[in-house]
Amino acid sequence: MPGVARLIELALEEDLGRGDVTTAAVVGDTGRVVSGVIVAREAMVVYGISVALEVFSRVSADIRAEPRVADGERVVGGTEVIGVRGPSAAILEAERTVLNFMQRLSGVATLSRRYADAVSGTGARVVDTRKTTPGYRALQKAAVLAGGSGNHRFDLGSGVLIKDNHIVACGSVTEAVTRAKQSAPHPLRIECEVETDAQLTEALDAGADVVLLDNMTPDQVAAAVKRAHERNVLVEVSGGITLDTIRAYADAGADFISVGALTHSAQAMDLALDFAA
């Protein structure tokens, strides 16, 4: 996965760069061999197991970590997620970095599942955005998939998405879509953000493949969907959509609903590493 190895290295460096003075003083360089488990303390969709195993192995080849569930699996509170055995000092040194990854990524996967469930039975697909934690994009987008929602663009090179500032920069929706159709790589669909009925008309007439309806009401979306689908144009909606409102947008006929909160506002889940007494 792009950049994950570097991210793990950075995470370990920031936590262990000057050593673990507490473990060195209390446990010693190695400590006795212990067994423990990472436990989910609340219901969640687990994600980050493969990252956790990599962190353990980088800290010490003597740590043996065994997954007890799979990434993307729904668990209840009290579920043992990973079993671990090895030198107590090494496990203690890896503990916080492992949990930091797993808590945050499981939060993304869990929120993704909630949004996917909220539109179940409709034709809508919830997708993420590029509003990710710097450096974490590959992991966060993988967690979104594990939770049941989809990925939008991974980066600026993976799709044409004409936004409001692009339109201002070149003068109009018509001009922006026309230039994109002339110059963008031919395999890429041309998507254009619109905020008004007039802009929607321009985007449809100019030949956009997808229109992004920004900050519209469900009733406005339903009317726009009818017009767009008559032209075989897909419809995405975005802008402040929450778990309380997303169903109305799905029922309005949106093909895609983009939700930045999947990655920028997911709450970390409660996981802990406990040694056997």
Active site residues: 96, 131, 163, 195, 214
Look up residue 150 and give its amino acid.
G
Residues in the chain, overall count: 277
CB-based contact 69:46 (threshold 8 Å):
yes
Rounded (10°) angle between helices 4-16 and 49-59: 50
Coil, helix or strand at residue 234: strand
CB-based contact 271:38 (threshold 8 Å):
yes
Rounded (10°) angle between helices 88-118 and 137-147: 50
Cα–Cα distance for residue pair 17/132, rounded to 1 Å: 26
In eight-state DSSP terms, residue 208 is -
Rounded (10°) angle between helices 173-183 and 197-206: 30
The Cβ of residue 166 has, within 10 Å, a number of other Cβ atoms equal to 18
Strand partners, 35: 85
The Cβ of residue 171 has, within 10 Å, a number of other Cβ atoms equal to 10
Which helix (H) or strand (E) covers residue 2, if one does?
A: none
Q: Which two tokens stand for residue 1?
A: 């996965």
CB-based contact 68:81 (threshold 8 Å):
yes
